[in-house]
Amino acid sequence: MKTGFFYDPIFLHHDTGDHPENAGRLRAILGRIQEDDLLSRLIEKSTRPATQQEVALIHDVEYLRIVEEAALSGQPFLNSPDCALSEQSYDAALNGAGAMVDAVLEVAEGKLDNAFVACRPPGHHAEHGAAMGFCFFNNIAIGAAWLTANMGYERVLIFDFDVHHGNGTQHAFESRDDILFASMHQDPLTCYPGTGFTGERGNGDGLGYTINLPMPPYATDADYMSLFRDQLLPRFREYDPQFILISAGFDAHRDDPLAQIALTQNGFDQMLTEIKTLALNHCQGRLVTILEGGYHYQRLAECVASHVALLQADPT
């Protein structure tokens, strides 16, 4: 399949020092992808900064200026030390959002079958007017909002398997029925950011279009797949998505230092395989997946390489 790989060296220049979310993550991913000789099978795409109009689909314009000023003025972080900054962080964050918009556009237009966006900083914790949890701009939310605003889609599915709840994405769409947000993450009583309980189901028109499946610490591949197949897949099929997006965080891996879930690469692969089949059956395979967390370099690199290879593989 024609799989786009969106990456730009600007993502390495969001310099966070010894913060767990640092450029070593992307270096490990790129190293592994080269080692596996995957690039020859992918369509490499460079990136561009998102426009103010694109970012404003999700974020307050004043907040955009706050991030820019904070980064350019040499402020060490925004809101909390979790959200570390360097001079080029604003540019890196804007390029992540721009890459997401280009990826969804090229897949919507059929130039690509699917795509992976290998960016940092990540995005799913970023709120309308606030940086949170290593995130500045909510890339996946911007991509989803862009699709409904510009391509006329009425049913976009976002599946978030990062070990942390995608609070920013949920809050962006919780009152809408044209974007279904579903998340599997570690139980909020035991894990950052403390939201994503089963009872959070959306409101108003969006009631039922937010689905949270918190998982207990030490949940395994089998635990995940059983809930995924019983509770998510039937709902996804019924929703009949026109486009699918994945917040692909690999910090639910059993070796990840930041959380306590016990997935292996096989678990991530199984979820992607099911989602890819869903995309092929419902929306001509239209699927864009974007990097969120994952803090064990080697496991992250292995999982991403396998993820991208599975995206690219021809359907059997």
Residue 113 vs 162, nearer CB to Zn ion: 162
- Does 249 interact with Zn ion (rule: CB under 5 A)? yes
Q: Taking contact as CB under 5 A, which single stretch among the options 55-63, 220-228, 271-279, 288-296 is the one that binds Zn ion?
A: 288-296
> Distance between CA atoms of 85 and 214, rounded to whole angstroms?
30
- Does 162 interact with Zn ion (rule: CB under 5 A)? yes
Q: Taking contact as CB under 5 A, which single stretch among the options 16-24, 142-150, 155-163, 200-208 is the one that binds Zn ion?
A: 155-163
CB of 213 closer than 8 Å to CB of 200: no
Q: Provide, rounded to whole angstroms, the least separation between the CB of residue 316 and Zn ion.
A: 31
- Does 21 interact with Zn ion (rule: CB under 5 A)? no
- Does 251 interact with Zn ion (rule: CB under 5 A)? yes
CA 45 to chain centre: 18
How many alpha carbons fall within 13 Å on the CB side of residue 26?
A: 26
**Is 197 in a helix, a strand, or coil?**
coil
Nearest to 305 by CA among 21, 34, 1: 34
Q: Taking contact as CB under 5 A, which single stretch among the options 104-112, 194-202, 222-230, 250-258 is the one that binds Zn ion?
A: 250-258
Find all residues with CB under 8 Å of 193, minimum gap 6, and list them: 125, 132, 133, 164, 165, 167
Residue 174 vs 292, nearer CB to Zn ion: 292
- Does 164 interact with Zn ion (rule: CB under 5 A)? yes
- Does 293 interact with Zn ion (rule: CB under 5 A)? yes
Rg over CA atoms, the chain: 18
Q: Tell me how many degrees the CA angle 148-136-81 measures, rounded to the nearest 5.
A: 160
Q: Provide, rounded to whole angstroms, the least separation between the CB of residue 68 and Zn ion.
A: 25
Chain residues that interact with Zn ion, rule: CB under 5 A: 162, 164, 249, 251, 293
